[in-house]
Amino acid sequence: MQTGGRHILKRLLTASIVLLFLTGESFSLTWQEAQALLKQNNNELRSAKKQLDSSSWTYRRAYGALLPQLSANLSAGQSSVSTAAATSSYSYGLNANLDLFNSSDYYNLRSAYVNYQYNEANYKLNEAGILYTVRQAFIDLLIAQENVDLRKKILKQRQDNGSLIELRYDSGVENKGNLMQTKADEANAKYNLSSAQRDLGLAKLKLSQLLGAQIALVEEDLKFTASAQQDYDLLTSGAPDYLAAKYQLESADVQRQSTLSGFLPSVSLSGSYRKSGSSWPPSTDSNSVSFNVSYSLFPGGTNFIDKIIYDLNYDKAREDFEKSRKDTRYNIVQAYEKYADALEALEISKGYLAAALERSEIAQSQYINGLITYDEWSRIEDSYISAQSNLLNSQKSALSANAAWQKSYGGYVK
């Protein structure tokens, strides 16, 4: 699909989500839809975007100092003294001024541009943090949904086991203690289901509040992929943390260079055209053109002191930048390694679950045929139930680790 078509579809998607929000409808959404909804409704993001737009216009405004300054004037007046008739005066004209060389204007423009770039990077940094918070809430709801389904399945398993033991107890094969244990396991499964349902309600509330809409369900395939190799240098150079630190360093550099203005002259060109007279329209022409050069010979030594101060500020900013660069790269590498660990742990959990399921099926048959005791069968059943819960926890850990990995290099905002 062409870029224009994708843009139209994205706008239609966002509009449909907002419409559902305005009508107060509950709906199920994907992570992509959640991101679109967040950008529409989140006050913090919208405030940061306004600040970024303001910074953009401040940068454009700085160009005004490099353009000619034009002004027009018009005057009419009358004066009189007691011994003479009143006299009238009229005039109009144009004035123009242009800075041919003023280093302050140049550095002000550069400073405004760097400030805009910093605000842009800071906006992406804020966006990445907010998206991470919402992603975690999205994951909590997704896993809460899965947990309710799992607890229903476990309750069914406990109820079936309870029916089996009750039948064997009535037949005189099992003792009352084992029956009571099975019924206690069933009651515990009911409690776990109730608790999971309460957690689901809280997860819905949290995500709904973050997105400003009533969310009923979320949808996502629990599939995980990770590349064996990552270009950490490339990821670091594009991370919002790195970019914000980079533009802070550039701002300090511009301020350091701007101290040269104290040692340089200013050159400007100005001109005016004027018509004046005692009647309207005035008929007397006058015009002037001037070329001006000014140089501050000795401004009290402030130019030398400013250079020392801003050189030191730049050296400090450079050290801060190097530390920030190293910290950002480390955080990216650490986040990816933790994600890789979570994926390996997930595969191990899958292996344990497959083994526990196989053992449960075998033990069920052996127990019914009297080949193993109740205690042996019960331990295997507990192990199977525990393996199911562990797999869900491993899936949540992998999703959370992936979210932290995306946040570390600004993956959600790219």
Residue 278 has pLDDT above 90, yes or no: no
Sign of CA dihedral 187, 192, 198, 204: negative
Inform me whether the pLDDT recorded for 306 exceeds 60: yes
**pLDDT at residue 18, as a whole number:** 45
Fold of 42-67+102-263+301-413: Outer membrane efflux proteins (OEP) (1.20.1600)
The mean-pLDDT minimum among 45-54, 189-198, 224-233, 390-399 falls in 224-233
Instruction: Return the bridge partners of 289, or none.
Output: 271
Contact in structure between 93 and 273 (CB atoms under 8 Å): yes
Is the separation of the CB atoms in 377 and 365 below 8 Å?
A: no
The pLDDT, as a whole number, for residue 302 is 82
Residue 78 confidence (pLDDT): 80
| Whether pLDDT at 389 is above 90 | yes
Q: What is the mean pLDDT of the chain?
A: 88
**Preceding omega of 281 cis (within 30 degrees of 0):** yes
Q: Please tell me the predicted confidence (pLDDT) of residue 395.
A: 96
* Overall average pLDDT of the 249-263 stretch: 88
Q: What is the pLDDT of residue 45?
A: 85
- What is the arithmetic mean of pLDDT over 218-236? 85
Nearest CA-CA partner of 147 in 202, 83, 98, 105: 202
Q: Are 243 and 301 in contact (CB under 8 A)?
A: no
What does the pLDDT read at residue 19? 47
pLDDT for position 81:
64
**Where are the chain's structural domains?**
42-67+102-263+301-413
**Better-predicted residue by pLDDT, 102 or 158:** 158
pLDDT value at 272 more than 80: yes
Residue-by-residue DSSP string for 70-130: EEEEEEEEEEEETTEEEEEEEEEEEEEEEEEE-HHHHHHHHHHHHHHHHHHHHHHHHHHHH
- Arithmetic mean of pLDDT, 219-247: 88
- What would the pLDDT profile of 92-125 be if each residue is shown by its tens digit? 999 998 888 888 888 888 889 999 999 999 999 9
- At 229, the pLDDT band (50, 70, 90 cuts) reads confident
Q: Does the pLDDT at position 24 exceed 70?
A: no
Three-state SS for 373?
coil
pLDDT confidence of residue 27: 59
